[in-house]
Amino acid sequence: MPLPIEGGVIGHYTLEEPLGEGGWAIVYRAVDLRLGRTVAIKILREAAFVQEADWGSLLREARLAASLAHPHICMIFDVDEDKGRTYIAMEYVEGLTLKDLVPEDGLPIEQVSRYGLQIADALAYAHLQGVIHGDLKSSNVLVAPEGGMTKLVDFGLGRRLRAEEIRRIATSKLSLAEVGRPAGTLTYAAPEVLSGKPTSVQTDIWGFGVLLHEMATGQFPFRGQTAFELGLAIMTGQRDASLPRVQHRLHAIIDRCLEKEPGCRYQSAREILHDLEELPGGLALEKQARPSWRFRRVVLQAALAATVFLILLFVIPTTRTVILRQHLLPRSVPNAVSPPGRVNDAGGSEIPRAPTAGNPHFMVWVNTKSGVYHCPDSVWYGQTKEGRYMTEAQAQENRYRPAVGKVCQ
């Protein structure tokens, strides 16, 4: 593959060798001339973004994606233009794609659990930051050779253009082989995307369901000889009955992810995380490999007069320690689960917290500088040291550090 840039230099990056190509870009290993580090450079094809509106859309998406800091998300360093070509500088990850690693008969259930937990955790984090992937597929999941750590790439980049391309090829009578690379994206497309609706959290959850099915069986849940037939199977929900069955609990997770109606699917990646933990090896793997964006947990035992709860201790990767304590609140305080808990920081401020009924998980945002907390699934929101309560919008705007806990009863 010849270098697309004369002299092999774009911006302040020297291109070394091609790593792969997709429908709208070619990826090269490169060296950052300023910092001396190895990076991956994605150079957009000349026809990919030709309008000013498209460039603005890409830049907005890249800025959002660049704000993500998660161990299972590939970092974006730079987006720019040089010599008439648009490029994206990203973290270089040595390894293979998940697509390359999945055998024809699928992966062992323990491996599906491990990869699934990592990917779902990355999605849960990104969705809380308001970022949708929009093109979840096995070729966009990199797996490091040591330890099997996954990295999601292409978060949100070119989402609108890919959706337009998917809708265009879904009406094609060409075979999937003739369609080429875009057929890979079509395989993971949700029904609502094919019908012209915008991507959403539920779009990612659908793609995750296809990915789980692929990992577990080595096959895709929907098939067709042509792009049109494949699109029709997705739109009508006609899954291939000849496909191998998967472990019962995993099958139920996949089924819920692949509900035709978005409202019938999981409503958040956090819900998927909870169910994945119940798979063989899932909870043990979750305890061993929970990413660093979540706080390390230590379980303490406490007893109240009428109720016994387990207390979760979060250790933030700074000097601050946050302890979740259980307290009885006045009857006048509305809550989803009784009795609700309180978040207590090192500075002594306490905040009521009540997890959603029927869901043992809760989410907390922590700003380690100000000591402000936010619990999005609680009736109450974070309280500052001055005694002011915050809205969910304010917590999102201030980009608080997220953490997830689990209440055991």
User: Which sequence positions are flagged as catalytic?
Assistant: 135
Of 23, 368, 388, 387, nearest in space to 185 by CA = 23
CA separation for the pair 373, 376 (Å, rounded): 10
Asked if 365 and 373 touch (Cβ cutoff 8 Å), the reply is yes
Region of residue 194 (left: phi > 0; alpha: psi -120 to 50; beta: else): alpha
Of 373, 106, 112, nearest in space to 244 by CA = 106
Amino acid letter at 117? L
Amino acid letter at 229? E
CA separation for the pair 91, 74 (Å, rounded): 6
Asked if 91 and 77 touch (Cβ cutoff 8 Å), the reply is yes
In terms of Cβ atoms closer than 10 Å to its own Cβ (0-12, 13-18, 19+), residue 49 is buried
Query: 304-307: long-range contacts (C-beta < 8 A, 24 or more apart)?
Result: 304/328, 304/339, 307/339
The single residue listed with the structure tokens 């987006």 is: 79
| Extended strands (E) in 94-137 | 96-97
